[in-house]
Amino acid sequence: MTDRIVDLRSDTITQPVVAMRMAMASAEVGDDVYGEDPTVRSLEDRIADLLGHESGLFTPSGSMANQLGIRLHVGPGQELIADELAHVLRAEMGAAAVFSGISSRSWSAPRGLLDPADPLRLMQPDAGTYQVSTKAIVVENTHNFGGGTVQPLEAIRTLREATQPLGVAMHLDGARLWNAHVATGIELAAYGQLFDTVSVCLSKGLGAPVGSVLVGSRAHIEEARVWRKRYGGGMRQAGILAAAGLWALDHHIKRLADDHARARAFSEAVATRFPGVIDPAHVETNIVIADVGQAGWPAADFVSVAGERGLRMYAVNETSVRLVWHLDVDDADTAFAAGVMNILLAKASGR
């Protein structure tokens, strides 16, 4: 037992810092359903600009931003395709099917890494009157359940060039696109311009309490605004929340490099002793997937015993756990996390 708690379950658990709270408290606001909140407008415009799109729409969550984006491209009885670990397929509670009557298929992608040949093989853009037509492809960058994988720009471009002439839209789930940008130095707009719509989250690595933004063409975003209201996502004096996002854009993007460095340091400290559990070459951003099954541990047991020792993480399947670095984790926490991991892995393997 320990008093120390290092919580690596997700980068969504961060506490808003004092300066962010002050920015929220002093935000100029209006009724955003009437389009009268200047702070929301300014966040939407700024993110649209950063991503190389015409317009933006503030949403309460990344799931809503994704689902609005998807429904702009895909109608009832048509399909979206995505890799089998994609958040839109695994963790949005079947929303595309429930709200929009959309069916989906997936391809398998180790670590979530995009190989354009996979969706190109799977899609059927115009399947006639007997099979379901593919209307959109969703790409996730970075890839959450894949372990923070950065999608290669060239792979995305190849996919875009092949699908655009066929009328198959592309939506980017960019909940952690900031991390890809910081890890590679590639401009956000260079990614953004290869998609019809992009969602980004402010409430993950950027440390805001709430909020995502969907960007796209003016016409797409006008339509998404109607659907957001229909989904119950029209918010009133939402500038209080948007102010946190604006503050995060100014102060919390560059520092993501610290999260990446700590995730890498942790992975090296564990891989030195347990090379089969983590491959540091696969730790590109702030997420580490550890195959504790290699050391004889069921993932759920490992999560529970690590939790008793003050280290929180998340079981992604029966044999692997996910650890995510964020704003509220420092070097000492990282060393503590590596220590707990190594002690527990040694217990199972008898080293």
Ligand X SMILES: Cc1ncc(COP(=O)(O)O)c(C=O)c1O
Which residues of this chain interact with ligand X, rule CB under 6 A?
A: 12, 61-63, 66, 87, 140, 144, 173, 175, 201, 203, 212
CB of 15 to ligand X, least distance (A): 17
Q: Contact, 48 vs 74, CB < 8 A?
A: no
Instruction: Specify whether the CB–CB gap between 330 and 17 falls below 8 A.
Output: no
CB of 59 to ligand X, least distance (A): 8
Closest separation between CB of residue 275 and ligand X, Å?
28
Give the whole-angstrom CA distance, residue 247 versus residue 208.
8
**From the CB of 131, what's the least distance to ligand X, in Å?**
28
Closest to ligand X by CB, 197 vs 203, is 203
Q: What are the DSSP E strand ranges found in the chain?
A: 6-7, 55-59, 79-83, 103-107, 134-140, 169-174, 197-201, 212-216, 287-291, 311-312, 314-315, 320-324
Tokens 């015993």 correspond to what residue?
Answer: 305
Q: Which is nearer to ligand X, 63 or 133 (CB)?
A: 63
Smaller CB separation from ligand X, 138 or 221: 138
Comparing CB distances to ligand X, the nearer of 212 and 320 is 212
Residue with Cβ nearer ligand X (82 or 295): 82
Q: How many Å from the N-terminal Cα to the C-terminal Cα in the chain?
A: 22
Residue with the CB atom nearest ligand X in the bound state: 62
Nearer to ligand X, 201 or 278 (CB): 201
Q: Report, in Å, the least distance between residue 56 CB and ligand X.
A: 16
Q: Vertex 150, ends 306 and 13: CA angle to 5°?
A: 40
Is the preceding peptide bond at 163 cis, omega within 30 degrees of 0? no
**CB of 39 or CB of 203, closer to ligand X:** 203
Q: Taking the complex as a whole, how short is the minimal distance between the CB of residue 260 and ligand X, in angstroms?
A: 16
Neighbouring CB atoms inside 10 A of 226's CB total 11
- Please provide residue 134's backbone torsions phi and psi, each rounded to the nearest 5 degrees: -80, 125
Query: Least CB distance from residue 140 to ligand X, whole Å?
Result: 5
The CB density around residue 312, as the number of other CB atoms within 10 Å, is: 17
* Least distance (Å) between residue 196 CB and ligand X: 17
Tokens of 234: 């029209």
For 264-267, the CB contacts below 8 A with 24+ separation are: 265/331, 265/334, 265/338, 266/323, 266/325, 266/334, 266/337, 266/338, 266/341
Toward ligand X, which CB reaches closer, 79 or 83? 83
Classify residue 323 as exposed, middle or buried by CB count within 10 Å of its CB (0-12, 13-18, 19+). Answer: buried
